[in-house]
Amino acid sequence: MDRKLIYSGNSQVIVSGIKNALDEAGITYFEINKSDSSYPGILGEIDVFVNTADAHKAKALLKDMLE
């Protein structure tokens, strides 16, 4: 299954909003949290991926949220 990165950043708040929006739209996502638990939001990033087939729909859904 091919995955497409739709967000990479260090804000857990933004990631939570993205996951909620994707859940409501029925889009399966994959999260890879590379942040340091000792310094959340400062060191490391959180990546959110979706299936390649859903990438266009996911990006359109999140366009306003990420601008």
Confidence band, pLDDT 50/70/90 cuts, at residue 4: very high
Note down the domain range covering 18.
3-66
- Across the range 38-56, mean pLDDT stands at 85
Residue pair 10/2 in contact (Cβ under 8 Å)? The answer is: no
Res. 1: pLDDT tops 70: no
E strands present in the chain:
3-9, 29-33, 46-51
Looking at residue 56, which CATH number applies to its domain? 3.30.70.260
Res. 66: pLDDT tops 80: no
Edge-to-edge order in the sheet of strand 29-33: 3-9, 46-51, 29-33
- Number of C-beta neighbours around residue 10 at 10 A: 16
Average pLDDT, the chain: 89
Sign for the CA dihedral angle at 52, 53, 56, 58 comes to negative
What are the pLDDT digits (tens) for 11-42? 889 999 999 999 999 999 999 998 766 666 56
Q: For the chain, how many structural domains are there in total?
A: 1
